[in-house]
Amino acid sequence: MPHLISRRCSACQQWFSFPYQFRFARKFCSRPCANLGRKHVMTKRVFLNMFDRSAGPESCWLFQGHLNKEQYGRISFQGKRWIAHRLVYALLHPDFDMELRICHTCDNPPCGNPRHLFQGTVKDNAQDALKKGRLSIRYGEDCPAAKLTVCDVLTIRALHGKERCLDLAARYHVNRNTIGRIWRRLSWKHPP
């Protein structure tokens, strides 16, 4: 019979026994307790190792791990892929709502400083970006997807009631709903 030793579990604080040869490896009584221990270590790693906090508490804390093409930090935590600043916010705010966005006041995607993060809707985020001049809304011909010009729109409006919607749609290579929206001034509102 192998020699057994006893130790307190690092997670649940219960006493457990195991063979002597595993004395350096065993810190947890079971796999669930070991997983709890890993989660705690991962939380510390997110805060301590994966963000550069050397510039101070008020500056941006830049994520040092993998960045996606939009420059947001990506990390796996408890079997789920997270955007790093969302994970920081979720760990610090128990009232975190997964449906809402986590926005930056500093407009720096790799930043994970909790003082620079706030929770908001998609609309809040877009209004914040528009207010700061980071979002350009292009109307009419300035929009890259535009198929019509201002001259085309004025012509379409002038032909309202004189030509069928389907005929105009075929001529200008747009959907008939687009012609109807132009006539009702729901789209292309800016030309007189």
Q: Are 165 and 179 in contact (CB under 8 A)?
A: yes
Say how many Å lie between the first and final Cα of the chain, rounded: 94
Judged by DSSP in three states, 151 sits in helix
Alpha-carbon gap, residue 167 to 173, rounded angstroms: 10
Alpha-carbon gap, residue 7 to 29, rounded angstroms: 9
Tokens standing for 68?
A: 């996606």
pLDDT given for residue 172 in this prediction: 94
Alpha-carbon gap, residue 167 to 147, rounded angstroms: 16
Q: Are 145 and 154 in contact (CB under 8 A)?
A: no
- The domains located in the chain, with CATH, are 4-35 (no CATH), 50-131 (3.90.75.20), 140-183 (no CATH)
Which amino acid is residue 56, in one-letter code? G
- pTM value is 0.54
What DSSP character marks residue 179? H
pLDDT digits (tens), the chain, 192 positions: 578 888 887 777 788 888 877 777 777 788 777 766 555 455 555 555 788 888 888 999 999 888 999 999 988 777 678 898 998 898 888 888 889 999 999 989 999 999 999 999 999 988 888 888 887 777 788 888 889 999 999 999 999 999 999 999 999 999 999 999 999 999 988 887
Strand 51-52 with 62-63, pairing: antiparallel
Which residues on neighbouring strands pair with residue 130, listed in sequence order? none
Alpha-carbon gap, residue 47 to 171, rounded angstroms: 60
How many CA atoms does the CB half-sphere of 143 hold within 13 Å? 12
pLDDT given for residue 137 in this prediction: 74
Tokens standing for 69?
A: 């093409």
Q: How many helices (H) and strands (E) does the chain have?
A: 6, 8
DSSP one-letter string for 93-140: -TT--TTSEEEESS--TTB--GGGEEEE-HHHHHHHHHHTT------G
